[in-house]
Amino acid sequence: MEQVKLLRRRTTDLLANAQQNITSTQKGFFASAQENLAHAQQNLPALSMPHFGLRGQSSPADHGPKGTWELIDNIPALRRSAHPLNIIAGSAYIFGGELNGQIADNDMHVVRLPVSGASTDYYRITAAADKPDEADADEHGKTASEASSDGAGSEAGSNSPRFRGKGKERAIDIVRPDLGDVPAARAGHATAVIGSRILLFGGRGADGKPIEEAGRVWVFDTRNCTWSHLDPAPAVMGGAITIHPNARSDHCAAATDKPQDFGSSRTTISSPPTAPHSPSSTPTTLRSRAQGWRDWAVGDTSKTGIPQDPVVGQVAESAVDEESRGYGTLFIHAGRLNNGSGSNDIWAFDVRSRMWTELPSAPGPARADTAICISKSRLFRFGGADASTGEKLGGQLDYLHLEVDVMDGKTEVAVRARDGWQTILQRSTSTYSSTVTPSEPLLASPRSTSSAPEIPVDNGVHPWPCPRSGAVFEAMTMGGGREVLVLAFGERGTDQPPLDDVWLFQAPPQGMSAASVTAAVLQAVGRKTGEGRWARVATRPYDDDDDEATKGWAALPRGRARLASAPMTNLEDSGVLVWGGVGEDGETFGDGWVLRL
């Protein structure tokens, strides 16, 4: 008995000592961590944004962002402006545009980029309509006849009048204009990529007026190199009225692959049969229930066969092409309307439902030749030209947070705007870089949201890119998950040469990534992360040993505006491809350049 008491006493003492040791160890650990953090904070160098001088005067102490320009050579010059550019699977696709004031052809020009050791190549694709399968044609014909009998009024050849407003409100169509099977030649249109398909909207024809297409979205499938189209669905099922944005040109577009998860596919699978509930399970009931589960899991063996002897082609026959069914959302913004006025609205086109939805209008004056891009769930906008005065806009960066409506916790319905627009304004003490400071200060645009700003703004004095229109504006994800916006080139005034500068804006990363962890550590030690401000990029030729590098700045792209650009996100070399544009003397360029950061 005494031994038991002695053992209990010793055990109690050991537990008490262990608890004291753990407490002292924790205190020592936290004290040591605080000392190390303070010591590291003192030893860390001060992070400050670099100062860039004139072009070509880089300093060894310059630690700002750097980039290189590589010329796409060994292909014929493809001169044009006011055209879009898209990159899919290592190939650049160029459609439409202007050449010396004339509308270019409606062929699709394809440039294979020099990636993965491949050489550059160029070819053109004549515009051709997609030929549906016989089953699809029969279904389409039946649907069209049913729609005609129901009074939908969606026949393409109808010339009935359409309701028009004053030009700035949404258009409401009862019938569609007579359009062809392929898009006509145009300029000032906008495109975006979803999957392997290029979506096109708007543009102006040879008469200089926006082409009226009743909200139609043209689709170029890069897999079979054919054109198809998506006409807006009626606002009410079985009705005749469709809602869509007004025809426009000199607008911009962006796209996202959301919504994409629509739950079960079109080919539905019935649930397994369940036997009626009975108080006792007999062998016959259990056998029938097992047979029902087997039939549900295996299917009709007369069609699928058995694992030892499957029916060839059954899987392919029941397969569904997700891109043909449609997913994703196309956004268009601003532009010039038929009556000559500008617009500041933004519309979202759901590819699967073929429905147009108007989102909150962006702040500031109506504009054209502006640019938007999407970085994960944020839509950004910069620059443009005032539609009334032609003044170049800048000094602010607007963004709209997007989110996906979800039903039943898993089925994605549509993309919508969360709250309203938010604006990052240039401070009055900040200066424009490499440009003339405007005589009048820029006025802050009203904010259309009451929520706190999502992107923290650095309140220090930093350079800003000057106001511009017709510029390059793309979103990229760099190493470690850093989200940056790339701004380059553009027109700054009628009496001033086009710009040739490159800027980066670092946005706070979303989600868990190496960039978010790094930003959290820097904030913990009281250092700046570089987020929420602009930094100019020091550029140089991609290959310093090239013969053209000895010719000075001939190895770098000249200033230009109204050019096309696309991010190279899915390739081994991350960068931005730019093509064409108009130079200082009105010359139309036909060269392509790759910007690597």
pTM, two decimal places:
0.74
* SS3 state at 30: helix
> Residues for the chain: how many in total?
597
DSSP code string of 319-351: ---HHHH---EEEEEEEEETTS-EEEEEEEEET
Task: Count CA atoms within 13 Å of residue 206 on its CB side.
Answer: 6
Domain assignment of residue 60, yes or no? no
Which helix (DSSP H) or strand (DSSP E) does residue 144 occupy? helix 134-149
Q: Is 228 left (phi over 0), alpha (psi -120 to 50) or beta?
A: beta
Domain assignment of residue 279, yes or no? no
pLDDT at 246: 96
* SS3 state at 394: coil
Structure tokens at 450: 């009451």
SS in 3 state form for 234-264?
CCCCCCCCEEECCCEECCEEEEECCCCCCCC
Q: Is 325 left (phi over 0), alpha (psi -120 to 50) or beta?
A: alpha
Alpha-carbon span 374 to 192, nearest angstrom: 11
Alpha-carbon span 345 to 392, nearest angstrom: 18
Closest CA to 393 of 324, 444, 453: 444
Domain assignment of residue 176, yes or no? yes
Cβ atoms of residues 90 and 571 within 8 Å: yes
pLDDT at 355: 95
* SS3 state at 391: coil
Domain assignment of residue 363, yes or no? yes
pLDDT at 426: 85
Domain assignment of residue 499, yes or no? no
Domain assignment of residue 439, yes or no? yes
pLDDT at 337: 96
pLDDT at 549: 46
Domain assignment of residue 72, yes or no? no
pLDDT at 156: 36
What's the number of domains the chain is made of? 1
> Residue 101's CB: how many other CB atoms inside 10 A?
10
Domain assignment of residue 330, yes or no? yes
DSSP code string of 506-570: EEPP-SS-HHHHHHHHHHHTT----TTSEEEPEEEES-TTSGGGGGGGGGSPPP-BS-EEEEE-S
Closest CA to 566 of 470, 475, 465, 469: 475
Cβ atoms of residues 398 and 423 within 8 Å: yes
CATH of residue 402: 2.120.10
Q: What is the pLDDT along the chain (597 residues), one digit of tens a residue?
A: 455 555 555 555 655 565 555 445 455 544 554 565 455 455 544 444 444 444 444 443 356 789 999 999 889 899 999 999 999 999 999 999 999 889 999 999 999 998 877 789 999 999 999 887 654 545 444 444 443 334 333 333 333 344 444 445 566 655 566 788 999 999 999 999 999 999 999 999 999 999 999 999 999 999 999 999 999 999 888 778 899 999 999 999 999 999 988 765 443 334 444 444 444 555 566 666 666 666 666 666 777 777 767 777 666 666 677 888 899 999 999 999 999 999 999 999 999 999 999 999 999 999 999 999 999 899 999 999 999 999 999 999 999 999 998 887 778 889 999 989 999 988 764 555 544 333 333 333 333 443 455 665 555 667 899 999 999 999 998 776 788 999 999 999 878 999 999 999 988 776 555 555 565 555 555 555 557 789 999 999 987 655 544 454 568 999 999 999 999 976 667 799 999 999 998 999 999 999 998
Closest CA to 256 of 175, 312, 167, 330: 330
Q: Which domain holds residue 120?
A: 83-262+325-482
Long-range contacts of 156-165 (CB under 8 A, 24+ apart): 162/214
pLDDT at 197: 97
Alpha-carbon span 289 to 275, nearest angstrom: 6
